[in-house]
Structure 1
């Protein structure tokens, strides 16, 4: 007999969500080149998801990861490339970071600067994975092999942040009309 599946949670609703010492501050305020990326997590009906957790993982501005398995060498001192933010009661999240460098692929292509994103929320048995691309990189985005593999222009567009007065906006729609493009990993 198998054990029936259950939804994740409700621990996302605890104060602070899943603890991470630096939360959404990938870089401190005042860091040269820092950019604020914010958005809202929405369910299939367009309602805010107040108990989601957004995690971002990215390369440094030189295109290196803060990971010992990165074959290109060490990342600059203090850059960890990871952030975590629980959504608030209105489903909003934010992360302060810097634009990552472009990344080489195993077959010699180059990926445009992007953040890898994991979404955890009630009702999800597994995390959802997507990317945030930068709107000021049209040529790099057009040549990016991941974006190029997405045939539908609206699906590609769902991965590019929108400039705002305060930084960039990237809303995450979990399903339905305007759904964010997610990847199988």
Structure 2
């Protein structure tokens, strides 16, 4: 007798956490040796051009708890605003990084080169920014956002200009905490919820 399936059940491969680290960053889960080296370990190589910066932060849930299993990917341009593969792009900048929150503190660190302004399709300019993709427990569809910098001119950026609730723009701005140092916390819910993008 053949039995028909009437419902489709979500499987482990369709669930973000805690599987994200096991599959995407195995050494973070104690599974070192799955890869020769973690994929996307750094967006830059020795000798890249531009200012080296460090961005620290946490992914914070609606209760104020820092997620310790968050995984983040970043994409960015080089210091001149060029992406890999574009003419004149810095070959020491891959533009991609994959990093996780610390298991104890929930703090993440992104060490990279500060990106330059990038052109829009309509002849304008985007302010220097880094695109982020975030997954963790309870996040079944990755979240997209961006990091902008408080010490840059963000006034003409077309994406920031489209955010109607002006106070929420601040949720996309990394605060400068020292020379080459920035703070950027990602809040999933509640007061100060980060602006997420539907891309």
SS at match of 1:143: coil
| Structure 2 residue ranges without an equivalent (≥5) | 1-5, 30-34
1:82 & 1:30 partners in 2: Cα distance?
17
Deviations 1:20-54 (A, max 9, x none): 3452x323589651000010111011101010101
Aligned to 1:12: 20
Q: 1:76 to 1:28 in 2, by over 3 A?
A: closer
Structural RMSD (CA): 2.2
| Structure 1 residue ranges without an equivalent (≥5) | none
TM-score normalised per structure 1: 0.86
TM-score normalised per structure 2: 0.81
2:99 to 85, 100, 105: 85
Aligned to 1:142: 155
Shift in Å, 1:122: 1.0
Structure 1 runs (4+) deviating above 6 angstroms are none
1:171 to 161, 170, 185: 185
Between structure 1 and structure 2, the one with the greater Rg is 2
For these two proteins, the number of residue pairs brought into alignment is 178
2:101 & 2:63 partners in 1: Cα distance?
17
Higher relative contact order (CA 8 A, sep 6+): 1
